[in-house]
Amino acid sequence: MGERVLLVGSGGREHAIAWKLRQSAKVDEVFVAPGNAGTARLGTNVAVQPKDIDGLAKAARELRITFYLASMDDPQPLGLVDRLSAEGILCYGPTAAAAQLEASKAFSKEFMVRHGIRTAAARTFSEYGAARAYVESLQGRPLVVKASGLAAGKGAIVCANESQALEALDIIMLRRDFGSAGNTVLVEERLVGWETSCHAFCDGRTALMMPFASDHKRAQDGDIGLNTGGMGAYSPSERVSQALADEVRRDVVERTVAGMAAEGTPFAGTLFPGLMVTEAGAHVLEFNARFGDPETQVLMPRLESDLFEVCQAAAQGRLNEVRVSWSERPTVGVVMASGGYPATYKLGHLIEGTDGIDPDVHVFHAGTKDDTRGLVTNGGRVLTVVASGSTLAEARARAYDNVKRIHFTNAHYRTDIALRAVK
Ligand code: AMP
Ligand code: GLY
């Protein structure tokens, strides 16, 4: 009997992973909670929300799930992996204890200091007055103020001056825009450099690096506008040399895996450090304990190995037996979003043209659903259109050529995804 795999989430990331899992001869069926119209075409959507651990555990039992693949952040700190493992379901993902690497920036900062992993200097506060006094004592030094807990990628406020830093403390600690995620704040030195995303498969002892990818977080061309979940991505990252990749593997990823094991909370699952490369080398801005979105949409089409087999080996602690191969062909993914995202936007616009795209180009769904009219928008980020090419420039041109064939009212996408990399 083949595997019955559970994914939790409803992003382009989950659609891309579901698409890749369906290529595995070992996988019989893919279930996605709650999923979107794209995942419904590849498997079965399950009407349970990502933070409903009881509901997910119940669904896993009823659906006779044999494998859980963790892709998004929410369920792991709430203990979904611990829970499903106890019920005999093999899981690829961190336990609640290991997921603290992402769920608590205070924990991960202290962890990095304990293990000599390069990161921005920071201090942690749970009392507003003390945080304020500290910011004032720094006399206008460039800072980033962060809510310690999970804040849907929006909890870091980059500050240009002291008054902005004080305002950030107000937003997080007094106005409580991020709720209890802001019970503790980090006041962090602001680094200057360029960013890239690293992903690695981990099994508690061994880590296998994926290719590097770069995303574009701001809503508008030229990296202006509000921070979003990500407006597009490409892989490989043209600026990451082999020497830098080796440094990140050794000094960030392997040190993290060894440190977590030494502390009795081995890390299994996808480790995704967000990095800032400065003149002094790569610094960890944050750890994510999951796959990136939209990075995953540009990584899955490059993965030549069987994703299920790699994750299964990691879940069984035998990643050292596995080789993972990746296509040399670069990929570019452009996110099509609802006009207004990440602020307010309307739902329910008809999406047309997805049947007219090139056969080897992927349209990974995020905020979509099917209603009586057909496919309609149902979220901020709607689709990621991913193309490959013999060069990054060709992949980029093909992605945009296909984006232009898809239409919905007020569609918004950036026109400069991967542009700096092909210049
Ligand atoms: P985070 O959620 O911690 O990854 O932060 C979100 C974004 O804020 C990052 O992608 C960076 O662009 C920026 N950022 C975070 N920390 C720093 C830092 N110490 N220095 C400069 N920029 C930062
Ligand atoms: N693309 C950034 C993230 O997934 O957090």
Q: Which structural domain range is residue 157 located in?
A: 121-189
Ligand 2 near 230 CB (within 6 A): yes
In tens digits, the chain (423 residues) has pLDDT values of 799 999 999 999 999 999 999 999 999 999 999 999 999 999 999 999 999 999 999 999 999 999 999 999 999 999 999 999 999 999 999 999 999 999 999 999 999 999 999 999 999 999 998 899 888 998 888 999 999 888 877 788 899 899 999 999 999 999 999 999 889 899 999 999 999 999 999 999 999 999 999 999 999 999 999 888 899 999 999 999 999 999 999 999 999 999 999 999 999 999 999 999 999 999 999 999 999 999 999 999 999 999 999 999 999 999 999 999 999 999 999 999 999 999 999 999 999 999 999 999 999 999 999 999 999 999 999 999 999 999 999 999 999 999 999 999 999 999 999 999 998
Q: Say if residue 314 is in the same domain as residue 224.
A: yes
Establish if 102 belongs to a structural domain: no
Number of domains in the chain: 4
How far apart CA 209 and CA 56 sit, in angstroms, is: 30
What does pTM read for this prediction? Answer: 0.96
Same-domain status, 43 and 79: yes
Residues 172 and 269 in one domain: no
Q: Are residues 200 and 236 in the same domain?
A: yes
- Best CA proximity match to 93, nearest among 67, 128, 63: 67
Query: Cα–Cα distance between 121 and 138 in angstroms, integer?
Result: 13
Contact 187, 125 (CB under 8 A): yes
99 part of a folded domain? no
CATH number at 183 reads: 3.30.1490.20
Could you please report the per-residue DSSP string of 118-181?
-B--EEEESSHHHHHHHHHHTTT--EEEEESS--TT--EEEESSHHHHHHHHIIIIIS-TTGGG
Residues 304 and 353 in one domain: no
Residues 226 and 314 occupy one common structural domain: yes
Q: Is 295 in the pocket of ligand 2 (CB under 6 A)?
A: yes
Q: Give the per-residue pLDDT at 139.
A: 85
Query: Of 293, 321, 349, which residue sits at a domain end?
Result: 321
Euclidean distance between CA atoms 54 and 48, whole angstroms: 10
With contact defined as beta carbons under 8 Å apart, do 173 and 187 qualify?
no
**35 in the same domain as 8:** yes
Residues 198 and 185 in one domain: no
Ligand 1: residues within 6 Å at CB? 120, 144, 146, 153, 156, 158, 188, 190-191, 195, 217, 274, 276, 285-286
For the CA of 274, the closest atom of ligand 1 is 4
Q: 34: cis peptide before it, omega within 30°? A: yes
Last residue of a domain, one of 321, 356, 377: 321
Structure tokens at 256: 């993290």
218 plus 157 within the same structural domain: no
Inside any domain, residue 128: yes
